[in-house]
Structure 1
Amino acid sequence: MKNRNPVFIISLAVSAALIFWGVLPESLLGQYQLAAATDRLYGFIIDKFGWFYLLSATLFLIFSIGLIFSKYGSLKLGEEDEEPEYSYISWFSMLFSAGMGIGLVFWGVSEPMNHYIYPPAGAGYTDAAARTAIRYSFFHWGFHPWGIYSVIALSLAYFTFRKKESSVISNILKPILGDRVNGKTGILINFIAVFATIFGVATSLGLGAVQISGGLSYLFEGVQNTLATQLLIIFIVTILYMLSAQTGLNKGIKYLSNVNVTLAILLLLFLLFAGPTNFIMNLFTTTLGSYIQNLPGMSFRMTPFQQENTWVEDWTIFYWAWWISWAPFVGTFIARISRGRTIKEFLIGVLTVPPLFGALWFSVFGGSSLFLEHFEGVMISEVMNNKGMEVALFAVLEQFPLGKIMSFLAIFLITTFFITSADSATFVLGMQTTNGMLNPPNKIKFVWGLVQSSAAAILLSTGGLSALQTAAIIAALPFTVIMILMVFSLGKALRSERKELKGQK
């Protein structure tokens, strides 16, 4: 591993220490076990910094939208005569697979159903609760996450391909930190990015393992949805994505991303036309308008006079923290595949296509589940309460023709998303720990693949889904500060380049 650097060594040491801490028995550690420690830290962060996540995510979205209409939109992420490396289809497929993937399949039914049962305000199981459920699903998976991704992806692409800096997070801050990014400050910044990536992706891998296990147990009586099954799934899929990681960006990740999107569209079209088509499209249309109309209010919604209501913390704050913890991974990956596009083209593509697809996804899957429960009396909520959120998707598919076949397709889709997300993350972690190499060595990727899977397994073992969510929120806090600095740094760099270009004319 000739290309390892201090960031690699420190990140690996800290990750290994946390994984070792997680496997130590409770009887030995008592209240000092990993789960107890992270729960206390989570409570402190949510209590003191929930508002900070909310304001930061909205700031990133406003900044990204503002750049579309700015005088910098025509600047190219690369040389002036450079053409994009990937077609629009491959580009959208890869950024969507990396940016949403497993989470969209997991929460497509279970999130709207959760909001329908326990809405942010008012009574559950009502017309108003159903409308709010879909609108907030749009909100959590819409413009805000892609605004977060845009900040770091655009910054990295600009400094890497236009300014010829190495592809590490710390170099984005060079305009405001100067040469300090080449020393201990830069090492700290890059370590925080790697740490956030490991635990942000581990959250998704854990969700994927839980849903694959839930789907198999729902379809086959002999399969138990237990921790042992979930850990076995992580082990098997780890081998698969490690094999994929050895093939590089233009083979494994590219091909699997195209497969992912194809399978996702097939599953979506099946349920759209097998399900209540008119209801779904009416729901999509009216909710899209309602989402845009209510976007400012939802973006700043907290509940200071309802101390007992933790809905915003449990959902919106968790999501914003999760997206931020994913940002160094997804942002680095999107930057890597976006060379040759203009800033305006990049931002319009990233901020419109994936959110619209996500909105349609929730309308189809969430809308179908709401229709079954609200109008047909099929108690999807009871299935969720009895067997877990991870089986909600399969309970919905079962109600339609070819339901079992579609459930198998859904499991296969989750598996390919699992492989693609993990594969992409090993690629990004390799870049960030080898001084920004655009094609990191396989040995480095292999190490990070093992670390990711181990982190996901430990989090599942010590606390299940709540532990996964806790890890994402904790990892995101320091990186949020770094992202705010990125906004100012990129703005300063763009203003400086604009002045240079004017001086040359």
Structure 2
Amino acid sequence: MPQDHPAGPQPRAADQSSPDSDDPDHPRGSVAVAERPSSAEAERFPAEPQTPGRALNGVFFTAVTLILALLAVAGFWPERMSAAADAAMNWVTSSAGWSLMLIPLGLIGLLLVLACSRFGRIRLGGDDSRPEYPTYAWIAMLLGAVMGIGLITYGVAEPVTHLFDPPHGLSEPGSQQAVVDSLRFTFLDWGIHAWAVFATFGLAIGYSTHRLGNKGLVSPILRPLIGRHADGLVGKAVDVLVILATLFGTTTSLGLGAAQISQGLSQVTGLELTGTGVQIAVIALITVLFTASAMSGVGRGIRMISQTTMVLAAALLVFVLVTGPTSWLINLFLRSLGSYAGGFVEISLMLPADGDDLAWMQWWTYFMMAWWISWGAFVGIFLARISRGRTIRQFVLVVLGVPSLIFSAWFTVFGGSAMFMDLERGTAIGEAAAEDINTAFFGLLEQLPMTALTSVVAVVLVVLYFITGADSNTYVLSVISSDGRMHPSRSVMGVWGVLTGATAAVLLYAGGLEALQTAVMLSAAPFIFVILALAVSLVMLLRRDPLVAGGGVAVAEPASQPEVRDR
């Protein structure tokens, strides 16, 4: 069992276990292990006495109560809930939507400054620590952190929709300039802005856990700002916000996954299986699977599934590139990437000019930025776990750059192929996507060889992403609501598994994709303040680090952690 941290200024004992610690590919085994800090750091930020039962009661029961209340309102009064949520979203985006654009841009600047300054040589661990994984394996795991359902749902739908409804009216619909604009704004939604949010959380959690010895929670990182309150009610409130934002961010993915699975089954079987009832049934079935997986502690099976999804996704990407307009896609990628880089600051700060523009931003860019914010802590925990021993410079440059390029290639191949089909062959993929984005991916596959096989592969990919993502979400929520303990009880994991599936199902019932998007934006709104506080606290912690503070104090490598194969 993990050991509680003793009170007082002395160095805290390392947590004694990390579940599935030999399973780095899977976030369920990736919650960062608390390690022993140097005595100098322990004196700066002494730990408060931990009260396991009270922490569980405060965070777990508060979060569960709030979620159950929301589900009850949405289930019994869906129309009222939808109207209230829409009104709240309109107010948030019209009055503070700018923050969803400005904050990720600011985080990019902060991360680059940290990477290129003296802070860049600080390691996520002791001064003598070295990376646990080879660089190629580390990069592969980075891609696996967010590669998921969204890339299937939006891989074709977003670019091809922008083609005939250009962002901010910058180009003529269906023009060659609209092709480039559609991709550069898709790069904006899925590229470096998203990874700046993830990298900020990952860097802060990694530094806090690997170098200072804190638990894998957000609240201890805020100690420089709020002092002992980080271990009191304020810290617990932050952890509750983390849970709510993570839950709604993940359930949005599950709702999208259910819609994609039902659309794919319709494509394969020829039956009409796209209704809300079918989607809820899909959620119910897979909820049983991923909840059982999370409670079983079988990490190796999930690791194999994660690796299988990566291989299938790469194979599908190569297939579409080869059988599609290959040369046209390569030219489009380079042109769009150049346009995106050249106008980076301009499009990063392009805010809505009128009501129609605001509605477009709510459906696309504002939603995407809120989605990444809500996923921040979840992905950050994963990145922290796999990045022990990396320098801040390595961490920032790779996390910001490599996944952004890979995602840009994905959207160019799939979205660019669909745009080519519509413009050169008169297909109607974009028109169908404007009515239902879930048709776009399978609409493209219909225009390529071996449609039946590739459609089955796409459905399998979504199912696998659904199971691994929800399983990881269930475990991470259980850890956070159990005061950072690496071995949350099976009953706690069961509760979070059921609540995850139930939330996705109820939100689909209450308003479909619009309800899912609204829930993400509303949960991310208060979480913005957490991100700002996290960034400030991280800078404060780094400025006091012995390696850059001029004190000449080396941070020792924490004691090694015993492996625990299964929970």
Question: Shared fold by TM > 0.5?
Answer: yes
* Cα-to-partner distance string for 1:71-125 (whole Å, 9 max, x where unaligned): 1112111223334344445543443333241111110000001100111213311
Distance in 2 of aligned mates of 1:318 and 1:249: 34
Superposition deviation, residue 168 in structure 1:
1.2
Give the residue type in structure 2 aligned to 1:108. Answer: G
- Do structure 1's residue 111 and structure 2's residue 163 form an aligned pair? no
Give the residue type in structure 2 aligned to 1:384. Answer: A
441-450 or 494-503, larger mean C-alpha shift: 494-503
TM superposition score normalised by structure 2: 0.84
Q: Partner of 1:421 in structure 2? A: 469
Q: 1:432 aligns with which of 467, 477, 480?
A: 480
Give the residue type in structure 2 aligned to 1:396. Answer: L
Give the residue type in structure 2 aligned to 1:47. Answer: S
**Shift in CA distance, 76/253, structure 1 to aligned 2, threshold 3 Å:** farther
Distance in 2 of aligned mates of 1:362 and 1:248: 35
Q: 1:19 aligns with which of 71, 82, 85?
A: 71
Corresponding residue SS for 1:503: coil
Distance in 2 of aligned mates of 1:214 and 1:393: 10
Q: 1:245 aligns with which of 279, 294, 301?
A: 294
Segments of 5+ residues of structure 1 without an aligned counterpart are none
- Do structure 1's residue 230 and structure 2's residue 279 form an aligned pair? yes
Superposition deviation, residue 500 in structure 1:
6.7
**Shift in CA distance, 500/90, structure 1 to aligned 2, threshold 3 Å:** closer
Correspondence 1:87-166 to 2 at 5 A: 87-120=134-167, 121=169, 122-166=171-215
Q: Partner of 1:327 in structure 2? A: 376
Superposition deviation, residue 247 in structure 1:
5.2
Corresponding residue SS for 2:273: coil
Distance in 1 of aligned mates of 2:520 and 2:260: 18
Corresponding residue SS for 1:357: helix
Higher helix share: 1
Distance in 2 of aligned mates of 1:453 and 1:399: 34
Superposition deviation, residue 351 in structure 1:
1.0
* Cα-to-partner distance string for 1:292-349 (whole Å, 9 max, x where unaligned): 1111111111133x34323233321111111101112111222223222221222222
Distance in 2 of aligned mates of 1:73 and 1:249: 37
Segments of 5+ residues of structure 2 without an aligned counterpart are 1-51, 554-567
Q: Partner of 2:519 in structure 1? A: 471
Q: Partner of 2:551 in structure 1? A: 503
Superposition deviation, residue 127 in structure 1:
1.4
Give the residue type in structure 1 aligned to 2:357. Answer: N
Corresponding residue SS for 1:309: helix
Correspondence 1:250-261 to 2 at 5 A: 250-261=299-310
Correspondence 1:260-339 to 2 at 5 A: 260-304=309-353, 306-310=354-358, 311-339=360-388
Superposition deviation, residue 456 in structure 1:
0.6
Asked if the contact 2:267–2:455 (Cα under 8 Å) also holds between the matched residues in 1, the reply is: no
57-66 or 107-116, larger mean C-alpha shift: 57-66
Corresponding residue SS for 2:544: helix
Q: Partner of 2:121 in structure 1? A: 74
**Shift in CA distance, 450/323, structure 1 to aligned 2, threshold 3 Å:** same
How many residues in Structure 1 have an aligned counterpart in Structure 2?
498
Asked if the contact 1:94–1:253 (Cα under 8 Å) also holds between the matched residues in 2, the reply is: no
Asked if the contact 2:219–2:239 (Cα under 8 Å) also holds between the matched residues in 1, the reply is: yes
Give the residue type in structure 2 aligned to 1:437. Answer: R
* Cα-to-partner distance string for 1:160-212 (whole Å, 9 max, x where unaligned): 11100111111111111111111111111111111101111111110111111
TM superposition score normalised by structure 1: 0.94
Superposition deviation, residue 11 in structure 1:
0.5
Using the aligned pairs only, state the percent identity: 36
**Shift in CA distance, 209/92, structure 1 to aligned 2, threshold 3 Å:** farther
Superposition deviation, residue 290 in structure 1:
1.2
Asked if the contact 2:118–2:548 (Cα under 8 Å) also holds between the matched residues in 1, the reply is: no
- Do structure 1's residue 462 and structure 2's residue 514 form an aligned pair? no
Q: 1:46 aligns with which of 93, 118, 124?
A: 93
Asked if the contact 1:98–1:424 (Cα under 8 Å) also holds between the matched residues in 2, the reply is: no
Q: 2:112 aligns with which of 57, 65, 90?
A: 65
Asked if the contact 1:149–1:330 (Cα under 8 Å) also holds between the matched residues in 2, the reply is: yes
